[in-house]
Amino acid sequence: MKHIDKLYKNTFLIVIFVFGVITLYTIKTEEVPRFILFLGRFHPLVLHLPIGALVVTFFLEIIRRFQKNEVSETIKHLLGFTAIFSVITCFFGYFLSLEGGYADRTLDLHFYSGTATAIFTSILLYLTTRSDFKSSKIFLPFFVLTLILISVAGHFGSVLTHGDNFLTEYAGVKPKTKTIEVVDSLKIYEDVVFKILDSKCIQCHNASKQKGELSMLTPDLILKGGVSGASLVSGNPDKSSLLTRMLLPVSNEEHMPPEGKEQPTKDEIWLIKHWIENGANFSDYASQVASNDTLRDKLKKYLVFNTIEIPKAPADDIEMVRNSGFRVFEIVPGEAALNVKLLDKNPAKEAIMLLEAVEEQIVELDFFNADVTDEMLKVVKQMKNLKFLRVNNESITDAFLKHLKDLEQLEVLNLYNTSITDKGLSELLTNIRPQKIYTNSTEVTDEKALTLKEEYDVSIQNSIQKGFVEDSQLEMPLVSPIKTLFKDTIHVAVKSRIKDVDLRYTLDGTVPDSTSKKLDEILIFEASTTLKVIASKKGWVSSEVLVKDFAKIVHDVNAYSVLKKPSENYASADKLFDLQEGTLDFRDGNWTGYFGEDLVSTIDLGEEKNVDNISFSCLEDVNTWILYPKEFTVYASNSKNTRFKKVGNANVTREGQGGDAELKKVHLNFNDVSARYFKVVIKNHGKLPDWHAAAGNPSWLFVDEIYFW
């Protein structure tokens, strides 16, 4: 036991001496050496070691006391480890604080509580070395106090890093979000610019942590600036460091947010620049700012809509409505929202009135070609959650529209072949604003429809001959399951969210049309297949062609190597071969990411095998610096150590400046290559192009599945 005590004593003294000398040297220098700042960055890394070790030691000590055992070597080793790394953590924390930018009071509390923790841990280690340790009555109270100190130090550390309310942010009820459903109601700074700053800047520029002595919590502090002067110059974005630092290359030390932090998107940079150019006013609404279509489009994503929770209707009520002549189904299986369609073309008023039982749950309601009247449909006025409504009968007049004046959730209103007039539609739009209204074959004039469309910013389809509105195009059908890779067979269902749609498909690569086979059942694929589907319906423009490539995997990948590991922030290389396909969200855990690097992988199939096709999936999301790769090359060999032969190559094309995130599958056909080893090279696109907000910086390469089929 004595040699253990001596070992920790000597190690402890060496640590104190070495770091003490470094600290004294640092204090005497006018400028903090870069090496010291480098050591300070290790503080967040090592601080978790003594915390975990201390908690485990306390647990073992409690068990020891219950069992009335002697102090074990394990407890001594753990306390020795904790004491040494507590001291090292304190020194690293001091070095990190020399970077500046932290609130003095919070920093002092963190420093002193952390130092006290290191001292108390050292005392605990000393107590275990005493011969009368077994009878020591102060050890356990000291231990509890040490745990309290380390908790206090941790709390103030989180405040320095994440802000004052980090610990309590999710305590209590979530604050109610202010609803903003119209662009003109947005405050440019409060509802847009501040949200951008909050997500990208305020983590390092807040009350507790002020890098460069700059806080961005309030307009006054933003205008005050930091050590480099004003960060905002009204009307002049080129002289506003708030913006210019965002535009610097990520590798530049002056770039903000720093490399490794979430970067602002192209749209966010555009909005900040537009705000500064127009005077950087902190109280203006969107309606008061020099506006254009681009601004309004970019502001739409900052709207906050009211979310409504709908209780589920009793099963008996739903069944009653079904029995009265309605088709009823859940829009999302298991959820409360209902789609209701009248099947009886000549319903009784009593049957319509039964809808009151599920009025709160009806979200989509269809009376297509039913013989109904204004009076019969009074029940609709109670359906506060109604979003889609179709009524197509000449007996429907402006009186019916008065039933709709309080339906604020209504988004689509189809009044085709009714007797509504200009007056009725005008009065409706003074109360509610559906996104789309269909008034073809009604008494509404083209001139009035155009006037109302411009006045209320509503899409009105009235007379397609006049050319001011377009035909409505069906959306592409939906495919289930989403996955496209399989080993044995796969069952594929295709449907449309629009009712009574005609689905036609092909499996031979040709484009489907009205003469193609009708799709009205589940398809079963036993081999790799390309499915093409088109949706059509009378009075609608046919959908774009849905194309889905289903691939039957012929060779499992159990052994592989990569030349360079992917970024640690995303999935490991194992995800390249697990057949779990990624989504449009690069953070979903299925994508491997390479920043400025190529993906090079050597795959071992275990024995020589014939390969016809090899493919991979890639992602593009321009706003987050993710571009499609530039090239795909495959080499093959029967020996890992001999020269690989090139067997295929394909360039990966991309168009324009990108938009929303999108996926692409890249294929190579070999016409029967036989080999055991395959080397796959997927080249990063390289530097971001000139049109990109961060032009010149490396791009990200995101790859998902590499598979043989």
pLDDT of residue 467: 39
> Does residue 618 carry a pLDDT above 90?
yes
pLDDT of residue 171: 58
> Does residue 523 carry a pLDDT above 80?
yes
Tokens 């005392």 sit at which residue?
Answer: 123
Residue with the bigger pLDDT between 260 and 686: it is 686
Distance CA 467, CA 183 (A): 27
| Mean local confidence (pLDDT), 546-556 | 91
Q: Strand, helix or coil at 44? A: helix
First-to-last C-alpha distance (Å) of the chain: 64
| Mean local confidence (pLDDT), 14-33 | 82
C-alpha pair distances (Å), 278 with each of 189, 216, 231, 441: 12, 20, 16, 46
> Does residue 652 carry a pLDDT above 90?
no
CB neighbours of 329 closer than 8 A, spacing ≥ 6? Answer: 338, 339
Q: Burial code of 411-439, b = ≥16 C-beta within 10 A, e = fewer? A: bbbbbbbbbbbbebbbebbeebbbeebbb
> Does residue 465 carry a pLDDT above 50?
no
Highest-scoring range by mean pLDDT, 93-107, 145-159, 264-278: 264-278
CB neighbours of 709 closer than 8 A, spacing ≥ 6? Answer: 528, 551, 552, 553, 554, 612, 613, 614, 615
| Mean local confidence (pLDDT), 233-244 | 85
Share of the chain above pLDDT 70, in %: 88
Q: Burial code of 662-675, b = ≥16 C-beta within 10 A, e = fewer? A: eeeebebebeebeb
Please write down the HEC assignment for all residues of 282-330: CCCEHHHCCCCHHHHHHHHHHCECCCCCCCCCCHHHHHHHHHCCEEEEE
- Using 50, 70 and 90 to split pLDDT, how confident is the model at 115? confident
> Does residue 207 carry a pLDDT above 80?
no
- Using 50, 70 and 90 to split pLDDT, how confident is the model at 583? confident
pLDDT of residue 470: 45
Tokens 């080129």 sit at which residue?
Answer: 238
Q: Which CATH number fits domain 315-465: 3.10.580.10, 3.10.20.30, 1.10.20.10, 3.80.10.10?
A: 3.80.10.10
Tokens 């109670």 sit at which residue?
Answer: 382
| Mean local confidence (pLDDT), 267-284 | 86
Residue with the bigger pLDDT between 377 and 2: it is 377
- Using 50, 70 and 90 to split pLDDT, how confident is the model at 378? very high
| Mean local confidence (pLDDT), 285-301 | 71
What six digits make up the tokens of 74?
Answer: 């394990």
pLDDT of residue 464: 45
Alpha carbon 103 to its chain centroid, in Å, reads 32
Distance CA 424, CA 432 (A): 13
- Using 50, 70 and 90 to split pLDDT, how confident is the model at 593? very high
Question: What is the DSSP annotation of 425-490?
Answer: HHHHHTT---SEEE-TTSS--HHHHHHHHHHHT-EEE--GGGSSS-PPBPPPPEEESS--EESS-E
| Mean local confidence (pLDDT), 399-417 | 91
Residue with the bigger pLDDT between 420 and 639: it is 420
Name the residue among 596, 510, 519, 606 with its Cα closest to residue 558: 606
pLDDT of residue 208: 56
Q: Give the Cβ contact number of residue 494 at 10 Å.
A: 21
Question: Which has the minimum average pLDDT: 230-234, 268-272, 617-621?
Answer: 230-234
CB neighbours of 556 closer than 8 A, spacing ≥ 6? Answer: 577
- Using 50, 70 and 90 to split pLDDT, how confident is the model at 566? very high
Residue with the bigger pLDDT between 23 and 131: it is 23
Question: Which has the minimum average pLDDT: 151-165, 381-395, 447-461, 617-631?
Answer: 151-165
What six digits make up the tokens of 429?
Answer: 């739009």
| Mean local confidence (pLDDT), 553-570 | 91
Distance CA 186, CA 682 (A): 44
Q: Are 533 and 494 spatial neighbours (Cβ–Cβ below 8 Å)? A: yes
User: pLDDT tens, 86-110?
Assistant: 888 888 888 877 766 565 677 778 8
Q: Are 58 and 143 spatial neighbours (Cβ–Cβ below 8 Å)? A: yes
Cis peptide before 314 (omega within 30 of 0): no
DSSP H stretches of helix in 201-281: 219-224, 241-247, 266-277
pLDDT of residue 11: 83
pLDDT of residue 199: 79
Residue with the bigger pLDDT between 260 and 313: it is 313
Name the residue among 494, 491, 487 with its Cα closest to residue 555: 487
- Using 50, 70 and 90 to split pLDDT, how confident is the model at 526? very high
Q: Is the pTM of this model over 0.75?
A: no
| Mean local confidence (pLDDT), 6-33 | 81
Q: Are 632 and 616 spatial neighbours (Cβ–Cβ below 8 Å)? A: yes
| Mean local confidence (pLDDT), 567-591 | 88
Q: Burial code of 563-598, b = ≥16 C-beta within 10 A, e = fewer? A: eeebeeebbebebbbebebbeeebeeebbbbbbebb
Question: What is the DSSP annotation of 77-124?
Answer: HHHHHHHHHHHHHHHHHHHHHTT--B-HHHHHHHHHHHHHHHHHHHHH
- CA dihedral 688→690→693→698, nearest 10 degrees, is 20
What six digits make up the tokens of 143?
Answer: 């231990």
User: pLDDT tens, 155-180?
Assistant: 777 776 666 666 665 555 555 566 66
- Using 50, 70 and 90 to split pLDDT, how confident is the model at 656? low
Distance CA 201, CA 242 (A): 10
Q: What is the DSSP letter of 229?
A: B
CATH class entry, domain 559-708: mainly beta
Alpha carbon 426 to its chain centroid, in Å, reads 40
User: pLDDT tens, 331-355?
Assistant: 766 788 888 988 888 888 999 999 9
pLDDT of residue 49: 84
Q: Are 337 and 310 spatial neighbours (Cβ–Cβ below 8 Å)? A: yes
Residue with the bigger pLDDT between 130 and 524: it is 524
Mean pLDDT of the chain: 83
- Using 50, 70 and 90 to split pLDDT, how confident is the model at 468? very low
The beta strand positions in 553-661, using DSSP E, are 559-562, 592-595, 599-620, 631-637, 645-651
pLDDT of residue 681: 96
